[in-house]
Amino acid sequence: MTELPTIKPFFADKQALVQEILGRYPEYGRRSALMPLLWEVQRAERHISLARQAEIAEILGLTLTEVKAVLSFYSTYHEQPVGQYHLQVCATLPCSLAGADELYDFLVEELGIVNGETDRAGRFSLQKVECLGSCTTAPVIQVNDTYYERVTRSRCKQLLAALRQGVLPEPWRERGGDSEGAATSSSGGDL
Amino acid sequence: MNEAVKEGIKPITSRHDPRFEVTLYRHVGVAGSHTLAFYLAHGGYQAAQKALAIKPGEVISEVKTSGLRGRGGAGFPAGVKWSFMPPVDGRQRFIVCNADESEPGSCKDRYLMEDDPHQLIEGMLIAGYAIQATLGVIYLRGEYYHAYQRLQAAITEARQAGYLGQNALGSGFPFDLILHRGAGAYICGEETALMNSFEGLRANPRLKPPFPAQAGVYGLPTTINNVTTIASVVHIMAKGAAWFAAMGTPDSRGIHHVQLSGPFKRPGVYEVPMGISYREIIFDLGGGPTLPVKAFIPGGTSCPLFPFTDEYLDTPMEYAAVAKQGSMLGTGGIILIPEEKCLVDAMYNVVRFYGHESCGKCTPCREGIATWLPKMYQKLLKGLGEPGDLELMESMVTNMRGTAFCPLADACAMPVQASFKHFRHEYEYLITHKEPMYKRNTWWND
């Protein structure tokens, strides 16, 4: 039996939220609420501790093992706390062709941490991730939930400077082709 | 055959054709386009009104006539898929939208969901009605948080306006949507893995048959379509099957979205008629390469690469024609590989991706892709390659073909085989010289 620390249950004062999440799914599909419950904890606490996993298991009538089995399958759930700013660098081919490998090396140099680590102050953590769907606006860094696209060397410095000031900048949403909004009903865009 | 073709009108197969209009992407990039007010002001929900006024079977035959094929990569005829649903028997039925876009090179669905969420909701309503599914699920990859917020807000708006709910659009048809976030796993794009993930299980693919239409979400009748497929249905209903079928070729009708990445002058997402040549896409739309290029991937990294030569550039973007050349049309994610990029290193990146995303269920995939193939690439790239290594790698990928439960193993094995076919000299150079033929490793701008 695993010894779990006694801490205040996360969902104790969030019964309305729990009911809302369970209510999204049919009665017979209650287990579908597992991922959204994990997301709630992770967004609030930047990881999902064993105690929280046990709490979610209790809510859904599952075993701790079943919850952990699902959690550990996915790359964006964390069992250890990530930093206040969790930097996720896409390393897949289109980003790599736009310099993502150098971008990653630059972040390692600047932050003093490597893939999977969090700095001592708990401010920054770094994760190499797979395709983020920003291929036409590569390279991309996702900080927590926010995308920063076309991160050139100078823009990367700019982003780090802002984060070090404790400022999460507005997302850098870059576009290209028809995603720029050039398409009109009468012509085929920029042709 | 559709009327336009019967009448001998030349089908649209070029963006230069003055008859071509950007349709699915018409609101993408336009300020405020994600709101219900904007959508309604631009003809929103009229296609659903039209669809819900006719019989479900008539909607299915309209989609069949249009020739629409699945835009998630596999290209299965959408209307035919819908007709696999068993007769209505009182059990809950599901329409599921696969919004787990994560094939490297692909990003078309993200913009559709961020900037035009109501278009997807309207498509889900039409698709749900066609197959008589009163519950829809949008399975959205976890990283697309902005799209999640936009879709969530749009679903709330649609419920308040009565477009979703017990009496959707006042038609008497009850329909509601569940928006479900994934958490970072490419395998969830495989439809049976997606269903397991949605049910709160580990996302291992299921054995087929039974197919989703027989036993899908919670074991109930289910149809799963890609975001772009669902969004296309809106316009097929609004403009008619003939409009859609007048674009492309007999094998591949309608429109697709190409996503241009790598060293393009004008990278981005472009809506194009099927049958357009890769030359027109790469040079006219993308503005051509900014660096000398040796290869291009035609549809996301699971599609075998093509050498950058006339023979391949002049191939029309059509399922059959691309298959004949040894690759796949895929998601339309076109990636240029520059001359100076070590091809072995580029393929290692692709293999590493599939290795990371292997769910570990089947031995050929777990041991082959997640374990030994990346190790062989590392060995080669470290200059430790020996005679016999290439043959070993070739035998590994051959043994992966068709031996795993789901297509992920093939999605890795096929591009590797193509790289051996077209660029074997770079592998051989690496083994003989203990260093890559192309050493450039700086690609980051400014």
Condensed to tens digits (0 to 9), the pLDDT of residues B152-162 reads 999 999 999 99
Selection from A51, A41, A46, A42 nearest residue A5 by Cα: A51
Among residues B224, B245, B266, the one where a domain terminates is: B245
The encoded tokens of residue B253 equal 């009708």
pLDDT for position B8? 72
* B183 contacts A181? CB cut-off 8 A: no
Give the integer Cα–Cα distance in Å for B125 and B321: 34
Q: Answer yes or no: is pLDDT of A7 > 80.
A: yes
Q: Answer yes or no: is pLDDT of A18 > 80.
A: yes
Candidates A38, A178, A186: best to mutate against B (most CBs of B within 10 A) is A178
Give the integer Cα–Cα distance in Å for B113 and B206: 28
For residues B230 and B120, the answer to whether their CB atoms sit within 8 Å is yes
Residues B197 and B75 in one domain: yes
Give the integer Cα–Cα distance in Å for B275 and B14: 7
Average pLDDT, chain B: 96
* Peptide bond connecting B210 to the previous residue in cis, omega within 30 degrees of 0: yes
Quick check: is B15 in a domain?
Answer: no
For residues B147 and B113, the answer to whether their CB atoms sit within 8 Å is yes
Predicted confidence (pLDDT) per residue in B275-319, tens digit: 999 999 999 999 999 999 999 999 999 999 999 999 999 999 999
Average pLDDT, chain A: 93
A77 touches chain B (CB under 8 A): yes
pTM of the model as a whole? 0.96
Within 8 A by CB and 6+ apart from B184, the residues are A74, A75, A76, A77, A129, A130, B141, B142, B143
A117 touches chain B (CB under 8 A): no
Residues B82 and B108 in one domain: yes
CATH for the stretch A15-71: 1.10.10.1590
For residues B289 and B278, the answer to whether their CB atoms sit within 8 Å is no
Provide the pLDDT confidence category of residue B75 given band limits of 50, 70 and 90.
Answer: very high
pLDDT for position B446? 85
* B350 contacts A152? CB cut-off 8 A: no
Give the integer Cα–Cα distance in Å for B369 and B412: 7
Contacts of A73 in chain B (CB under 8 A): 185, 202-203, 359
Residues B209 and B118 in one domain: yes
Selection from B439, B364, B428 nearest residue B402 by Cα: B364
Question: What residues pair up with B180 in beta bridges, in sequence order?
Answer: B139
For residues A140 and A116, the answer to whether their CB atoms sit within 8 Å is no
The encoded tokens of residue A37 equal 């419950």
Give the integer Cα–Cα distance in Å for A188 and B271: 9
Within 8 A by CB and 6+ apart from B87, the residues are none
* B92 contacts A26? CB cut-off 8 A: yes
Residues B102 and B179 in one domain: yes
Residues B274 and B410 in one domain: no
Predicted confidence (pLDDT) per residue in B135-190, tens digit: 999 999 999 999 999 999 999 999 999 999 999 999 999 999 999 999 999 999 99
Q: Answer yes or no: is pLDDT of A1 > 70.
A: no
Quick check: is B133 in a domain?
Answer: yes
Residues B278 and B211 in one domain: no
pLDDT for position A182? 61
Provide the pLDDT confidence category of residue B20 given band limits of 50, 70 and 90.
Answer: very high
DSSP for residue A170: P
For residues B366 and B360, the answer to whether their CB atoms sit within 8 Å is yes
Residues B300 and B239 in one domain: no
Residues B121 and B240 in one domain: yes
Alpha-carbon distance B421 to nearest alpha carbon in chain A (angstroms): 20
Residues B127 and B159 in one domain: yes
Domain coordinates of chain A in residue numbers?
Answer: 15-71, 85-175
Alpha-carbon distance A131 to nearest alpha carbon in chain B (angstroms): 5
Residues B273 and B327 in one domain: yes
Q: Answer yes or no: is pLDDT of B413 > 90.
A: yes
Residues B278 and B382 in one domain: no
CA atoms within 13 Å, Cβ hemisphere of A3: 1
ipTM above 0.85, yes or no: yes
3-state secondary structure of B362: coil
Selection from B328, B262, B298, B304 nearest residue B423 by Cα: B304
The encoded tokens of residue B290 equal 């900014």
Q: Residue B291: give the domain boundaries.
A: 255-338
Candidates A79, A131, A137: best to mutate against B (most CBs of B within 10 A) is A131
Fold of A85-175: Glutaredoxin (3.40.30)
Residues B239 and B127 in one domain: yes
The CATH number of whichever domain residue B61 belongs to comes to 3.40.50.11540
When divided into structural domains, chain B yields a total of 3
A 43-62 residues with CB below 8 A of B? 60
Within 8 A by CB and 6+ apart from A150, the residues are A137, A138, A139, A140, A172, A174
Alpha helices by DSSP H, B42-173: 46-52, 56-66, 78-82, 108-115, 117-130, 145-160
